[in-house]
Amino acid sequence: MFAADTSRALELTSGWFLENAWLAGLLPVIGFALIIGLGKRMPMKGAEIGLASMAATLVVTVGAAIQWMQRVNSAEGPGEEATGLVQAFGRSLPRAAEGGEAEPFIAPVVKTWVWWQNSGLEFGIGSSIDGLAALLLALVAFITLLVQIFSLDYIRNDRRYTHFFASITLFSGGMLIMLMAENMVQLILGWEIMGLTSFMLIGHWWEEEANSRAALKAFFTVRVGDVGLLVGTAIIFFGANQWAVDNLDSNGFNISAIQAWALSGEADTQFLLWGAVALFIAAIGKSGQFPLHTWLPDAMAGPTPVSSLLHSSTMVVAGVFLVARIYPVFWEGFNIGTGGLSFIAIIGAITIVIAALLAFVQDDIKKVLAYSTVSQLGYMMLGLGTGAWLPAVFHIFTHAFFKCALFLCAGSISHSGSHHSFDMKKDMGGLRKKMPVTFAAWIVSTLALTGVFPFAGFWSKDEIIDNVGNNGYTFLMWVALGGAALTAMYMTRATYLTFFGEPRGAAAGEHHQHDTDVEAEEHELEEATVGAPEPRSLGAAAATHGGGGSAGGDHDDHGDHGDHGDHGPHESGPLLLVPIVILAFLAVVAGFANPTPLASRFGEGVELIKTYVEPRAEAVVVDDFLASGPGDSLILVDVPAAAPAAEAEGDGAAKTGCGFTSPEAGTVCFFPAVSHAEPKFAKILLSLGIVAAGYAVAIAFCVAYYGRRDKRLVGLTERNKALRGGFLFLKNKYYLDALYENVIVRAVAHPIAKAAYWINQHVLDATVDGVGVGARRTGQWVYDNIDQKVVDGAVNGSGFAASEAGHAMQSTQSGKVSQYGALLFGAAAVAAIVLVIVNVS
């Protein structure tokens, strides 16, 4: 069972950052506590603690990522110490397909402490760093730091500035904890922290009921999914635990053990299937897939930094991360490897389309971006569901940059351009001249989002589409291509409405009647506190403000608005722009981290993500059972010649290896051998062409409809019933919200509530009342019978007996001397007789 002579124990390098990556989870939590405790007293109101903790976390995570890359490089051969991107970029690694040595599985670096043990199970908390974790840890820390810098200016003078930073910091702590989790319990911990902070942050301005409702909706919708998380974890635990104990000296919560169990071939398919279904339901909830996507657009009620951090780049990818992390379970449970249509892929595809369609009818720019996020998450799920693991993870990476940049641009626009309004139709337009930097970043990010060469989205999204087609899902590939076209179209619409055309509303310098936008309300409150002459209501805003800039007295109170010197749109300050520019820059270059189409020319070394992040699908022997408990990294023994994973290049190659066949006795697999499509020029052209066509159509439409107000198009939906029906259907979000709230919730919750109330009144209260009445009656009976009759009877009886005895004895005390004499002599006689008898006998 153990290693034969031909194998060698893998000696992989580790490093301080890898060993202590748990600091990345701990530092933000400490930062959170410090901000809560000390934030209000600090000069920057706690923001400095948040920034400092995120910066330190970034150092730890980047260091861990670098050391991980060194670790991977150290497995290639003795003496090769490749560090940094440059050397890895230039070197071409021998791969199995090219006849080189089969690459060994790189064991994650684990460092945990046991925090609870129960009936033989040990629960650890700490870090387990492999490629996926290293990549996402650094990503989350980086994005959080940028968003915090953005927030310094954006959230200035907010009524709960300190708590905002505390929540943001705690969120990143929660996500990092989840990312580095070594077992499902810690993953659930991080997941729940994220849900909590999401709730806190969406409802940051909870004084408006719409915001608190949105926060509750987000929380509860994700909660529906979380049921799946717990159920799935339990199912997987019961399936995997025995196998893990027997083979790996681990338990059914350990993620590595779960991966190995799923691929071992000894796993019960029912456990795998239902565990996968349940866990995917959790991913649906968290990542906003159909049908639990309804919370994400409403979550835009939170401040823009929250939307850019949580609901675009980091938190919503937690579901995708979950699937990617425990991929073997889904691979086996849904039979992804055999080309069948998997549940994940279907949901992903549906999500892509419906979210893209909904983005067309949104007036709120953040909602457009929100639906865009949902759609892109659909792409990631589609990729995972069809076996395209690497492109999906790469898409997480690139999507984070350009989506976050887009949201921050939206924030910049509202902060400096449209006077805190997000309504594109009413308060934006023509902003490209006034806000050039924002405009440039927006354009770059949009191009990245739609997948235009050479921006980031092209490399990742097209890889997904390519692999989907390559793995045999032709229909889904056309769906994804259609989605790419739709993406181009709605983003064009949004861009046109925002940056082109004539300035409207606030973008024109007017202070419109603000609609229910919350930041408008925020603005009203700020004005009121600064000492505006009379109290304002929303409706009165138009009356008092009417006409741009005329009432000079009112507008002089905007001292604290700093940049509002002339009340027109203008570019934002540096604190807002620097993160945007950084992210836009990354949106340009991030794609080159894994430019698969270039691999054929430059060698596979250019595919950094593939090299360092994708786990190797090699069967390995786990050495030294005792070392593979919580707290220690697995020590693997390389099995070079035993079962080389056949990387199926191209279509139709014979599939063997991890994920397709059971590993040999004594070895375990941790990752299935996913196939990688070789990009073909023709396919690339096809996708680029479709995107270009989408752009063309959209630009033409926007210019015609919004620009020239072409008579054929204006009012089309009012004239044409079919189009109007479709428009209303989209506007009402497919009536899903109505279905959920009015039908499902009411049908389920109200009867349950009524039943619960009935039980409470008639069962619980009746029980309590009954107990009370019974107790009183018992007490009464006891009093009447026992206390009065028995106890008192005894007491009285004893008294009676004593008095009667006394009365009886009274006759001896007659006072008569003769009687006393008789008694005396009689008693003396008796005593004497007794004495005589005693002494004589």
Partner 1 sequence: MLAVNFLLLAAVLFSIGVYGVIARRNAVMVLMSIELILNSVNLNLIAFSLMHGVADGQVFALYVIAIAAAEVGVGLAMVLMIYRNRRSIALDELSEMKG
Partner 2 sequence: MSAVILAAEGVNVAQNVAFGIIAAFMIFAALSVVSSKNVVHAALWLVIVLAGVAAQYILAAAEFVAVSQVLVYIGAVMVLFLFGIMLTRAQIGKEFGLNNSAWPLGIPVAVVLFGLLAWVILDAYEDDVLPDPGGPTPTEALSDQFLSIYLVPFLALSFVLLAAAIGAIVLARKD
Report how far apart, in Å, the C-alpha atoms of 833 and of each of 689, 819, 823, 836, 838 are. 139, 21, 15, 5, 8
* Partner that binds at residue 810, options partner 2, partner 1, none, CB closer than 5 to 8 Å by kind: partner 1
**Helix (H/G/I), strand (E/B), else coil: 165:** helix
User: Scanning residues 52 to 91, which ones bind partner 1 (CB under 8 A)?
Assistant: none
The answer to whether the CB of 252 falls within 8 A of the CB of 223 is no
Does 839 sit near partner 1 (CB under 8 A)? no
Smallest distance from the beta carbon of 831 to partner 1, in angstroms? 15
* Partner that binds at residue 242, options partner 1, partner 2, none, CB closer than 5 to 8 Å by kind: none
What is the C-alpha to C-alpha distance for residues 253 and 238, in angstroms, rounded to an integer?
9
Smallest distance from the beta carbon of 799 to partner 1, in angstroms? 19
What is the C-alpha to C-alpha distance for residues 611 and 88, in angstroms, rounded to an integer?
9
Report how far apart, in Å, the C-alpha atoms of 187 and of each of 9, 400, 775 are. 30, 21, 50
**How much of the chain is in helix, strand and coil states, percent to nearest 5?**
70, 5, 30
N-terminal to C-terminal alpha carbon distance within the chain: 99
The answer to whether the CB of 707 falls within 8 A of the CB of 501 is yes
What is the C-alpha to C-alpha distance for residues 734 and 249, in angstroms, rounded to an integer?
50
Smallest distance from the beta carbon of 829 to partner 1, in angstroms? 9
Among 324-332, 455-463, 539-547, 817-825, the segment contacting partner 1 (CB under 8 A): 817-825
Question: 546 or 826, CB closer to partner 1?
Answer: 826
The answer to whether the CB of 329 falls within 8 A of the CB of 258 is yes
* Partner that binds at residue 833, options partner 2, partner 1, none, CB closer than 5 to 8 Å by kind: partner 2
Report how far apart, in Å, the C-alpha atoms of 294 and of each of 162, 364, 402, 453, 682 are. 30, 16, 23, 32, 37
Question: 749 or 833, CB closer to partner 2?
Answer: 833
User: Scanning residues 780 to 839, which ones bind partner 2 (CB under 8 A)?
Assistant: 816, 818-819, 822, 825-826, 828-829, 832-833, 836
Binding-site member from 813, 833, 835, 836 for partner 1 (CB under 8 A): 813
The answer to whether the CB of 573 falls within 8 A of the CB of 153 is yes
User: Scanning residues 819 to 838, which ones bind partner 1 (CB under 8 A)?
Assistant: 819, 821-822, 825
- DSSP per position, 175-237: HHHHHT-SBHHHHHHHHHHHHHHHHHHHTTTTTSHHHHHHHHHHHHHHHHHHHHHHHHHHHHH
* Partner that binds at residue 815, options partner 1, partner 2, none, CB closer than 5 to 8 Å by kind: partner 1
What element of type H or E holds 726? helix 721-731
String of contacts with partner 1 for each residue 753-792, x by CB under 8 A: ----------------------------------------
* Partner that binds at residue 115, options partner 1, partner 2, none, CB closer than 5 to 8 Å by kind: none
* Partner that binds at residue 813, options partner 2, partner 1, none, CB closer than 5 to 8 Å by kind: partner 1
Count the helices and strands in the chain (H runs, E runs): 35, 4
Question: 810 or 839, CB closer to partner 1?
Answer: 810
* Partner that binds at residue 832, options partner 1, partner 2, none, CB closer than 5 to 8 Å by kind: partner 2
Question: 803 or 813, CB closer to partner 2?
Answer: 813
* Partner that binds at residue 840, options partner 1, partner 2, none, CB closer than 5 to 8 Å by kind: partner 2
The residue among 123, 135, 169, 7 whose CA lies nearest residue 65 is: 135
Among 292-300, 520-528, 752-760, 818-826, the segment contacting partner 1 (CB under 8 A): 818-826
- Compute how many residues bind partner 2; rule: CB under 8 A: 12
Question: 744 or 830, CB closer to partner 2?
Answer: 830
Question: 38 or 822, CB closer to partner 1?
Answer: 822
The answer to whether the CB of 326 falls within 8 A of the CB of 258 is yes
Does 815 sit near partner 1 (CB under 8 A)? yes
Question: 781 or 820, CB closer to partner 2?
Answer: 820
Smallest distance from the beta carbon of 841 to partner 1, in angstroms? 22
* Partner that binds at residue 771, options partner 2, partner 1, none, CB closer than 5 to 8 Å by kind: none
Smallest distance from the beta carbon of 823 to partner 2, in angstroms? 9
Smallest distance from the beta carbon of 810 to partner 1, in angstroms? 7
Question: 85 or 828, CB closer to partner 1?
Answer: 828
What is the C-alpha to C-alpha distance for residues 627 and 611, in angstroms, rounded to an integer?
26
Does 814 sit near partner 1 (CB under 8 A)? yes
What is the C-alpha to C-alpha distance for residues 820 and 830, in angstroms, rounded to an integer?
15
Smallest distance from the beta carbon of 837 to partner 1, in angstroms? 19
Smallest distance from the beta carbon of 824 to partner 2, in angstroms? 9
Smallest distance from the beta carbon of 797 to partner 2, in angstroms? 33
- DSSP per position, 664-703: PTT-B-SS----BPPP-HHHHHHHHHHHHHHHHHHHHHHI
Question: 118 or 812, CB closer to partner 1?
Answer: 812
Binding-site member from 601, 721, 807, 816 for partner 1 (CB under 8 A): 816
Is the preceding omega at residue 615 within 30 degrees of 0, hence cis?
A: no
The answer to whether the CB of 245 falls within 8 A of the CB of 269 is no
**Helix (H/G/I), strand (E/B), else coil: 129:** strand
Is the preceding omega at residue 291 within 30 degrees of 0, hence cis?
A: yes
* Partner that binds at residue 722, options partner 2, partner 1, none, CB closer than 5 to 8 Å by kind: none
The answer to whether the CB of 383 falls within 8 A of the CB of 603 is no
User: Scanning residues 513 to 552, which ones bind partner 2 (CB under 8 A)?
Assistant: none
Among 135-143, 144-152, 582-590, 810-818, the segment contacting partner 1 (CB under 8 A): 810-818
Smallest distance from the beta carbon of 804 to partner 2, in angstroms? 24
Smallest distance from the beta carbon of 807 to partner 1, in angstroms? 11
The answer to whether the CB of 702 falls within 8 A of the CB of 498 is no
Question: 118 or 818, CB closer to partner 1?
Answer: 818
The two tokens of residue 628 are 């593979």
Question: 795 or 827, CB closer to partner 2?
Answer: 827
Question: 786 or 829, CB closer to partner 2?
Answer: 829
Question: 761 or 819, CB closer to partner 1?
Answer: 819
What element of type H or E holds 110? strand 109-118
Binding-site member from 537, 818, 839, 841 for partner 1 (CB under 8 A): 818
- DSSP per position, 6-62: T--B------HHHHTTHHHHHHHHHHHHHHHHHGGGSTTTTHHHHHHHHHHHHHHHH
Question: 806 or 821, CB closer to partner 2?
Answer: 821
The residue among 43, 50, 142, 33 whose CA lies nearest residue 585 is: 142
Q: Which positions lie near partner 2, rule CB under 8 A?
A: 816, 818-819, 822, 825-826, 828-829, 832-833, 836, 840
Q: Which positions lie near partner 1, rule CB under 8 A?
A: 810, 813-819, 821-822, 825
